[in-house]
Chains A and B, each alone.
Chain A
Amino acid sequence: MFDDLTDAERKALAQCRHAVLGTERPLRLDCGVDLGPYRVAYQTYGTLNAARSNAVLVCHPLTCDQFVAERHPVTGKEGWWESLVGPGKVLDPAHYFIICVNVLGHCMGSTGPQARNPATGQTWNLGFPVVTIADMVRAQAALLDHLGIPDLFCVIGGSMGGMQVLEWAATFPDRVFSAVPIACAAHHSAQNIAFHEVGRQAIMADPDWKGGDYRAHDTLPARGLSVARMTAHITYLSEQALQRKFGRSLQNRDVLGFSFDADFQVESYLRHQGSTFVARFDANSYLYITRAMDYFDLAGAHGGVLANAFKGTATRFCLVSFTSDWLFPTRESREIVHALNAAAANVSFVEVASDKGHDAFLLDEPEMFRTLQGFLKGAAAVRGLVGVS
């Protein structure tokens, strides 16, 4: 099963755990396809306690992966949520058994379009079934079954990770003691879909994309994927943050170049974001994962009434949004809060003042840390977890 791996996947799987699932019972995807066997790559920190009551599932956003709190095997950069996860941090491996699963369709070791279709022996590419947030969550639940973990003390994640948290709470309420969806929404808005579509079109317009079959042609749609990343990256930042960081400052020059080089620092920055992304992310995976987010509509899946998704839930919720996040604005978190109120759920909701835009959830935001620390402490007390302070 390892002969179809990309270099990045090989490095990833050497540094994390994985399980091959769906051999006996395939995973029924929302699109109707039965997927199996499939591989899930995951990383863990800390130890599962004897009562198996301290498991925390961290759900990663679109372009992050299972390497939450350690140096990344491909990029060499520090873990994407080391501000939150690690010794002495809010999610301390000394107290919790922390799991992060590379989502289905992704490119860091879990089965996705770059994997081999067991039926044909060929790389899936665009033949890979379109997966949804619910499919990702079902694959994670199958992994928990495999690991013998009955339920989770907490499911936490931001952005697409937050969508998974909501899906977890709606689909497996009995397995989710507490849920922390951060900077997310119960559905992707028209604007969200529009930005993703620009990114996908950029990839597909790259002649090196080859209809998704670039590996066989030994090409890489680097320019397309890079533009996709540049577009998306703008949506992760606030106007204010961009202005503060770059303004109209010029890059390595004192006067305008009267050319189309990267005159401005902001151009240079975006180009750098684009080119480094290409080295770690698969273009087809980008199509699939953005699609999964576009398809997410939790109310739509529950008769058009979001509150129905949470009917009778005993899960404790804590939502966090950021004032300057225009990709997933506070208004959308508030919609979820209203639905949870209508379901008489136990919910806390904090809007954090920050000018850092959507990316704030990945950054040093003391108010968010205080919120999560307090919420988890309260939940741990009710759960009877000892040692959590």
Chain B
Amino acid sequence: MNAAIRVDLQLIADMVEPATRALDVGCGDGALLAYLVDFKRVDARGMELSQAGVNACVANGLSVIQGDADADLRDYPDDAFDYVILSQTLQATREPREVLSQMLRVGKRAIVSFPNFAHWQVRLRLVFGGRMPETASLPYKWYDTPNIHLCSIDDFRALCRDMGVKVERAIVLNSKSRPIHMPPLLANLFGEQAVFLLRRA
């Protein structure tokens, strides 16, 4: 059992009530899943795009299938989970709005984390550097990035408003992955990533 996981994953795990049902979409190597199973007695399932990731998860005793957020959430019935989690993946989906609405159909709540495209370093690099931003949370070249739908924290809030989704909690992290407490305008400038706990209105 490994009690130490990445800070943003820890924040997500803290949002999940013990002994609930959760689906982690894009679960990677299964670090969050394993934590939820081992420390919070969660009935946790995973979906992962890469076959290597899936195989590694299953070999560790986790319930994981190969699939992607755009195509495969549709299979699940309404209210199948208490939480559907999408960590650092929303910006890589083809239809983020549809994915979000599927998440909140399948799950009673959704937890979404994503990099903030309005972070000051991103702004600086684009405005003064004249180049596509490359930062710690956006480490790709423009031509090989999987991130096709990047957004800022304020963009995401606007989408939630638009969709009638209720934001129960929002945590903004600085570049040292520490939570920061600032008014929205500043949070959108100094936050490198954000974690949202959502539910249907």
For the complex, what is the distance from the CA of A366 to the CA of B57, rounded to whole Å?
15
Contact with B along A81-100 (1 / 0, CB 8 A): 00000000000000000000
Per the bound structure, the CA–CA distance linking A384 and B183 in Å amounts to 50
B43 touches A346 (CB 8 A): yes
Q: How far is the CB of A338 from chain B (nearest CB, A)?
A: 5
Q: How far is the CA of A381 from the CA of B59 in the complex (A)?
A: 14
Pairwise interchain contact B60-A316, C-beta atoms closer than 8 A: no
Decide yes or no: A344 and B80 within 8 Å by CB, A338-B75, A350-B55, A371-B55 being known contacts.
Answer: yes
Please give, as numbers and ranges, the residues of chain B lying within 8 Å of A346 by CB-CB distance.
Answer: 43, 45, 63
Q: Are the C-beta atoms of B77 and A370 separated by less than 8 Å?
A: no
What is the CA–CA distance of A343 and B59 in the complex, to the nearest angstrom?
Answer: 24
Q: Say whether chain B's binding surface is mostly helix, strand, loop, or mixed.
A: mixed
Query: Do residues B76 and A348 form an inter-chain contact, with CB atoms below 8 A?
Result: no
Q: Distance in Å from the Cβ of B43 to the closest Cβ of chain A? A: 7
Query: Which residues of the other chain, B, contact A316 by a CB distance below 8 angstroms?
Result: 63
Q: Is A299 an interface residue (CB 8 A)?
A: no
A348-B75 CB under 8 A given contacts A367-B55, A371-B55, A371-B58: no
Contact code string A349-363 (vs B, CB < 8 Å = 1, else 0): 111110000000000
Please pick, from A338, A347, A374, the residue contacting B61 in the complex, using a CB distance under 8 A: A374
Residues of A within 8 A of B (CB): 316, 318, 337-338, 341-344, 346-353, 367, 370-371, 373-375, 377-379, 381
Q: Could you list 26 A-B pairs, sorted by A, with CB under 8 Å? A: A316-B63, A318-B58, A337-B67, A341-B65, A341-B75, A342-B75, A342-B76, A344-B80, A346-B45, A347-B45, A347-B63, A348-B57, A348-B62, A348-B63, A349-B54, A349-B58, A349-B64, A349-B65, A350-B54, A352-B55, A371-B55, A371-B58, A374-B58, A374-B60, A375-B61, A378-B61
For the complex of A and B, 10 pairs with smallest distance between CB atoms: A378-B61, A374-B59, A341-B75, A344-B80, A349-B65, A370-B59, A348-B58, A374-B61, A338-B75, A348-B63
B interface residue numbers (CB < 8 A to A): 43, 45, 51, 54-55, 57-67, 72, 75-77, 80
